[in-house]
Structure 1
Amino acid sequence: MKKKYTIQKTPFVVPTTDGKVIEEHFGLASDNNAQVSIAHMVAPAGWSEPFQTPEFDEYTYIIKGKKQFIIDDEIIILQAGESIKINKNTRVQYSNPFTTACEYIAICLPAFSMDLVNRED
């Protein structure tokens, strides 16, 4: 009988070049049919990425540290214990301009894909 649950003990570690740690527990990296992605992330102090307009909703829960979001020219800073949902097709920039690393969980629906993130050059 097939089990009705999946335990993830070895998340897919996404290779990065900017010092950010991305451990995808569920998502397209490990399951081509994934409907959602759930990742544990650590953004180092001083980290940032380009503006993007993703074609997925993104939920972020901050575990430790602080993370900055620029959404439609509004700067939002979240800290441990706070969370945010950013609706798909919203222009956003993620960064950690602070002096300590930020640890967080990111959930994307539909699942994160580079084809859907629409990062600016």
Structure 2
Amino acid sequence: MRKFFIQKNPFVVPTDDGKLIEEHFGNASDGNKEVSIAHMIAPAHWSEPPQEPTFDEYTYIIRGKKQFVIDGETVVLRAGESIRISKGARVQYANPFNAPCEYIAICLPAFTIEGANRDSE
């Protein structure tokens, strides 16, 4: 039995806001509840409602810029930069810029929509 798995067909999360979410490992793709790893592309002028996740989230920016409002403080990350946002922080993710933002997101434990605790839109 192999002790590795190469993900060639990530689960593409259906969205209605133009954001691409390809979950390589996690609840939706392989049932992994410990960690989720996703490749994402947020279109220009994209945002989602504030949330208070029950998981830590690590983000690495591949290209473009992404804005985070964390407990009222605005942080902008650029390509090559990364951030860890601790569970329980109030955060809003956005790309208010004129170009898409490509990034990798890792959640510990794995992302769930219920665990995101998003505000109603």
**How high is the TM-score relative to the length of structure 2?**
0.97
Matched letter for residue 120 of structure 1: D
Shift of 1:39: 0.2
Alignment of 1:32-71 (within 5 A): 32-71=31-70
SS at match of 2:34: coil
Matched letter for residue 55 of structure 2: F
SS at match of 1:29: helix
Shift of 1:69: 0.2
Structure 1 segments of 4+ aligned residues over 3 angstroms from their partners = none
* Unmatched tracts of structure 1, length 5 or more: none
Answer yes or no: is 1:13 the counterpart of 2:12: yes
Measured in 2, the distance between the counterparts of 1:88 and 1:82 equals 20
Measured in 2, the distance between the counterparts of 1:15 and 1:48 equals 16
* Unmatched tracts of structure 2, length 5 or more: none
SS at match of 1:115: helix
Alignment of 1:29-108 (within 5 A): 29-108=28-107
**How high is the TM-score relative to the length of structure 1?**
0.97
* Aligned position for 2:114: 115
* Aligned position for 2:23: 24
1:38-74 CA-to-partner distances (Å, cap 9, x unmatched) read: 0000000000000000000000000000000001111
Measured in 2, the distance between the counterparts of 1:19 and 1:31 equals 24
Q: How many residues end up aligned between the 2 structures?
A: 120
